Chains A and B, each alone.
Chain A
Amino acid sequence: MSDYTRKEIMAISAGRLVNDGDILFAGTGLSMLAATVAKHIYAPNSVVFFETGGIDPSLHELPLAVADPRVMSGTCLNTGLIDAFAVLVHRRLRTIAFLGAAQIDPHGNLNSTALGDYHRPSARFPGAGGALDAASLAYGSIIFMAHQKRRFVPQVDYLSSPGWLSGGDSRQKAGFKRGGPMAVVTDLGVMKFDEQTKYMYLEQYYPGVAPEQVRENTGFELDVSQAREAEPPNEKELTTLRRDIDPGRLILG
């Protein structure tokens, strides 16, 4: 039962973090898989929606983009951006956003805009999109990252989407009423943030990964002393993911 890929355990690990009834804001790629895994297995009463305005689509086929016509099919409601943001910010809803980025810092702040000088970037990325808004206004967020030193940096080149800002109560002081990153799911394990300092620490490492390996691939000091080995994906999780969610392996590869 140890036969699974890193992408599979990432999608499943993220899906396990969802509470039943959460309203899930999905982006593209792995986040779409995680949201669907959550709904299929752990959170049948959860609803997936997209910033483009598609609410609760059937997802018979996996969308490759938030504007994929597959997010408009079998929905309870087809709307637009303004309506989707009204769902995202609703104070009664536990909206959980799945986000990704090019860089992350120890407080979960994300860069999806540019490397180097903003005006003449050495690499330009697509931009903050709706991730900035989800990071600002959702109830919470779960972040996907490839675990590499160049991506886990002490300071992001451009702060596109707010995490815990400079830690402690700085997020609240900046004016945010709720939200903040709950976890960072990578190809090596799951990171969480200290209750008080809001600094990242290793919570789980995947079977076959050493905590030291996670530290070595992180560009800032990472506490691994509280870490435990993650529960490997079970038969049901893998079958659902492979057979029902991504049979064409569009995202699983």
Chain B
Amino acid sequence: MEFTPSMQKKLMSTAEAVERFVPDGAMVSLGGFTVNRNPMLITREIIRAGRRDLHLAVHSHGQALDLLIGAGCVSKVELAYGGVARFAPTGIRFRAAASRGDILVEDYSNFHMSLRFLAGSLGLPFIPSRSGLGTDVLEKWGFGPEVRGQGKIPEKKMVVDQNPFAEEEDPVVLLPALEPDVTLLHAQCVGTGGTVRIKGLTFLDVEQARASDAVIVTCEEIVPEDYLRQDPDQNTLPSFLVDAVIPAPVGAHPTACHQYYDYDPTHLKLYRDYASSDDGFQRYLEEWVLPFQTQEEYLAKVGAPDLERIKANRVLGYAPGLDRR
């Protein structure tokens, strides 16, 4: 396959992508949702590179969030929800770090985070909503005065104000826009010209990417650009919004990737068991994260039987009959 010159510049190793776009202290937004399309290859590389003091901004996130927090890469997180479905209804290392005060947590809702990324993507400084009036999400701030106003952290978490267009009393919640340093996404396909196609639900990936200074995309497959341009209605992001592209077959494992593979119940249960203690989590890092320079090595560790079990039916998009208990 022939790559366009701009695509050639985007193709790089995970190590180079993390080196260039994910410095210590960066504000990182994670694509995907709980058990689906988590950018796991990049997540493992960030841990291997020993990144510290990251500020995560997510809506509902699961496996990547939990791993990054557990590995000590994160100092602050803004989120609506941290859990991995029934495998960990509350993310295990997220829960531990929040309870110990190892990380600062600022709570929003999914709609709040969606609107904040949308505002960032449109260049709006803030955006109003009616969600959350009268709740502690308004009242209780996770980031204290010592960090407020620094870098990309707004002076205020959110503000209730009067709708200026209403004559009667009409309170609205004003939410500050989010403009992350980098968004990490996992997609099904990227074209040889850099066009990105995400299949199934796109969650908030598009808004997150548009709101960010930089975007790293890992993908199941690189395909001829002509193929994506035959059906442009199906495409998700133009190449000029993407800074780094890394081919990563099964790059969202153990989370799912629609039409390619299901989430991996065996691995998610294994993770739950390891993550339930501090020592166990360290062993998980030593066995499943730190040793692998390439995705191929990681997949060899996962093993063919496991990969075969979760392989998606191309019509249904998931693995029918998969034992998910």
- Confirm or deny: B258 has a beta carbon within 8 angstroms of a beta carbon on chain A: yes
| Segment 50-87 of B: residues with Cβ below 8 Å from A | 59-60, 79-83, 85-86
How many A residues have CB within 8 A of the partner chain?
Answer: 58
Nearest opposing residue in chain B for A114, CB measure: B98
| Segment 67-115 of B: residues with Cβ below 8 Å from A | 79-83, 85-86, 89-91, 94-95, 98-99, 101, 105, 107-112, 114
CB distance from A121 to the nearest CB of B (A): 6
B109 close to A133 (CB less than 8 A): yes
Grouping DSSP codes into helix (H, G, I), strand (E, B) and loop, the A interface class, with mixed when no group exceeds half, is loop
A35-B308 Cα distance, complex, nearest whole Å: 32
- Confirm or deny: A218 has a beta carbon within 8 angstroms of a beta carbon on chain B: no
- Confirm or deny: B124 has a beta carbon within 8 angstroms of a beta carbon on chain A: no
Given the interface pairs A51-B110, A118-B136, A124-B98, the reply to whether A69 lies near B206 with Cβ below 8 Å is no
CB 8 Å contact bits of A110-123 with B (1 = contact, 0 = none) = 00011000111111
- Confirm or deny: A149 has a beta carbon within 8 angstroms of a beta carbon on chain B: no
A165-B79 Cα distance, complex, nearest whole Å: 23
B258 close to A69 (CB less than 8 A): yes
CB 8 Å contact bits of B238-278 with A (1 = contact, 0 = none) = 00000000000000000010100011000000000000000
Report chain B residues within 8 Å CB of A161: 135
Grouping DSSP codes into helix (H, G, I), strand (E, B) and loop, the B interface class, with mixed when no group exceeds half, is loop
Report chain B residues within 8 Å CB of A61: 318, 320
Given the interface pairs A72-B317, A73-B318, the reply to whether A79 lies near B202 with Cβ below 8 Å is yes
How many B residues have CB within 8 A of the partner chain?
Answer: 64
- Confirm or deny: B182 has a beta carbon within 8 angstroms of a beta carbon on chain A: no
Nearest opposing residue in chain B for A174, CB measure: B134
Question: Could you tell me which B residues sit within 8 Å of A by CB distance?
Answer: 32-36, 59-60, 79-83, 85-86, 89-91, 94-95, 98-99, 101, 105, 107-112, 114, 118, 130-137, 140, 142, 169-172, 200-207, 256, 258, 262-263, 312, 316-318, 320, 324-325
10 of the cross-chain contacts (CB-CB < 8 Å) are A67-B60, A82-B207, A121-B98, A131-B109, A133-B131, A136-B131, A159-B136, A162-B135, A174-B133, A175-B130
Question: Could you tell me which A residues sit within 8 Å of B by CB distance?
Answer: 28-29, 51-54, 60-61, 64-73, 78-82, 85, 113-114, 118-133, 136-137, 158-162, 165, 170-171, 174-177, 248, 250
